[in-house]
Amino acid sequence: MSDDVLAKLIELNPKLNFKHISDPSFERYGRYLPQYDASEMIARAAAIVPQIERVAYETSVAALEEPSALTTALRQEVYGGMDAQVGWCYGHNQALNGVEYHRGSEVGVCVTDAIFLVGHLQDICFGEEIRYDTAKIAAFYAPKGSVIEFAPWNLHMAPISVREGEQFCVLVYLPRGTNERLTYSVPQTGENRLLRAVNKWMMGHPSLERMIQGGVYPGLVGENPIVKPI
């Protein structure tokens, strides 16, 4: 079934060069972790996820923070004993819109099928202006149940729905405190211009006026990639 889905995505989106999340090319951006069984956490999340028409992200969800074998394994093995918060991102989305990165890995657990548009931190041009060319974005399809580590150099944003009208849901593990509100200000020079929250550096596509007016640095150049769902 997943091969059929991937083939259809490739057919509908020839410019994006879609790959399966298990493809070796993803190793540039992180790791596919098939050794972990996410079924318990997927069932827990699927039973309580709200249905919405936009994209929502919550850094930490009490019901998801409750003990589980998967969470224990990820905290001990992927994070090496560090504390990791358990939140989620869900809703409807078909475009890249922006990219962000963190100082520490993010682990995504696919409660539904999902698409990830990703890039590499080394491809950002830092200078008087900060620029990232969206032509360098790579597209990956991840079926339900996938557990994925997005490395600290991975550029990413919200997941994308695979099917027309279908809501995506992905659990998000991050070092505790990531994406919380900053309690201080920094000089708006260099990389500081991208700092939007605790452990979150972000830039947006200039076509998204509300995002840019909200203070997100308009660093993306080129098209804002849009995925055509199946």
Query: Tens digits of per-residue pLDDT, 33-60?
Result: 999 999 999 999 999 999 999 999 999 9
Percent of the chain past pLDDT 90, that is, above it, reads 99
Q: What is the mean pLDDT of residues 201-218?
A: 96
Q: On the CB side of 160, how many CA atoms lie within 13 Å of its CA?
A: 23
Cα–Cα dist 92/163, whole Å: 10
pTM of this prediction?
Answer: 0.96
Consecutive H or E run containing 119: strand 114-120
Which pLDDT belongs to residue 76?
Answer: 99
CATH of 2-177, one of 3.30.930.10, 3.30.390.30, 2.60.120.10, 2.60.40.420: 2.60.120.10
How would residue 3 be classed by pLDDT, with cut points 50, 70 and 90?
A: confident
pLDDT of residue 77: 98
Q: Which two structure tokens, joined as six digits, stand for 111? A: 């409660």
Widest pairwise Cα distance in the chain: 51
- Residues with Cβ within 8 Å of 189's Cβ and at least 6 positions away in sequence, in order, are none
Q: How confident is the model at residue 99 (pLDDT cuts 50, 70, 90)?
A: very high
Compute the average pLDDT of residues 209-220: 96
**Closest to 137 in 3D by CA, of 166, 157, 107:** 157
- CA distance linking residue 9 with residue 104, whole number of Å: 30
Least confident of 1-15, 79-93, 135-149: 1-15
Query: Sign (positive/negative) of CA torsion 208, 213, 216, 218?
Result: positive
Residues in Cβ contact with 129 at an 8 Å cutoff, skipping those fewer than 6 apart = 219
